[in-house]
Chain A
Amino acid sequence: EAGVTQFPSHSVIEKGQTVTLRCDPISGHDNLYWYRRVMGKEIKFLLHFVKESKQDESGMPNNRFLAERTGGTYSTLKVQPAELEDSGVYFCASSRLMGPGGNYEQYFGPGTRLTVT
């Protein structure tokens, strides 16, 4: 089966511009996660969708970040306007729907490297 795909692989934008990242999860995976890794730091959770609903967006840094998952398939993460501190690698992951007390493996995409200059 195809893995998680992300587009673009790299993006270089100027401060104040807008960027939209896209994630296509594994087919049939209802859970979709966004994470970010700033250079040298840990991979940090941003938010979680179950199908088209935002389940948890406690990790979103501020209201310049907007995530959507229309129709419960692919997801987009928009940064508007971008700031220098938004630079990093943005990962998307997907997993099957969890049962009670379960932790299903999260499959990660290759990431989008965002550079804000």
Chain B
Amino acid sequence: QQQVKQSPQSLIVQKGGISIINCAYENTAFDYFPWYQQFPGKGPALLIAIRPDVSEKKEGRFTISFNKSAKQFSLHIMDSQPGDSATYFCAASYSGANNLFFGTGTRLTVIP
């Protein structure tokens, strides 16, 4: 049973546009929601993370929006650049947990 559902599977955005990736979860015990970015040939790297006590977190062009009642969270990439082209994974965990539960990933392509 997949704990975190992610969509879309792939996304093509024009340079300067907004990229939006959505995730949903069922386990209400989750209280840590990171997003990972993976470039080809590299491992996933933490991009930004949020806890459910806030509804939004912004770091530069990257913003997480969190809706606790809907059990959904999303990543917004403003002013998308070709260098943002990568695979993005949402994940969830709970305090003190050993492991992360990942979504299936979104392959983002930003075209010039």
Interface residues of A (CB under 8 A from B): 4, 31, 33, 35, 40-45, 48, 55-56, 59, 91, 93, 98, 100-103, 105-111
In the complex with contacts A98-B96, A101-B96, A102-B96, A45-B101 CB distance below 8 A: yes
Q: Are A42 and B2 in contact (CB under 8 A)?
A: yes
Which of B32, B46, B95, B105 contacts A42 (CB under 8 A)?
Answer: B105
7 nearest interchain CB pairs? A108-B43, A45-B99, A48-B98, A43-B102, A101-B95, A103-B32, A42-B102
Q: Are B99 and A33 in contact (CB under 8 A)?
A: yes
Q: Are A106 and B100 in contact (CB under 8 A)?
A: yes
Residues of A within 8 A of B4 (CB): 42
Bound CA span A103–B105, Å: 21
Is B44 engaged at the interface, CB distance under 8 Å to the other chain? yes
Bound CA span A55–B97, Å: 11
Interface residues of B (CB under 8 A from A): 2, 4, 6, 32, 34, 36, 41-46, 49, 89, 93, 95-105
In the complex with contacts A103-B32, A103-B93, A45-B100 CB distance below 8 A: yes
In the complex with contacts A42-B104, A43-B102, A103-B95 CB distance below 8 A: yes
Bound CA span A33–B44, Å: 13
Residues of A within 8 A of B89 (CB): 42-43
Name 6 interchain pairs, CB-CB below 8 A, sorted by A.
Answer: A42-B101, A42-B103, A102-B96, A103-B97, A107-B43, A110-B41
**Beyond A40-B104, A93-B43, A108-B45, 17 additional pairs, beta carbon < 8 A:** A4-B43, A31-B98, A33-B99, A35-B99, A42-B2, A42-B102, A43-B105, A48-B99, A56-B98, A56-B99, A91-B44, A100-B96, A102-B95, A103-B49, A105-B34, A108-B36, A108-B44
Bound CA span A91–B36, Å: 13
Bound CA span A43–B99, Å: 11
Bound CA span A43–B35, Å: 13
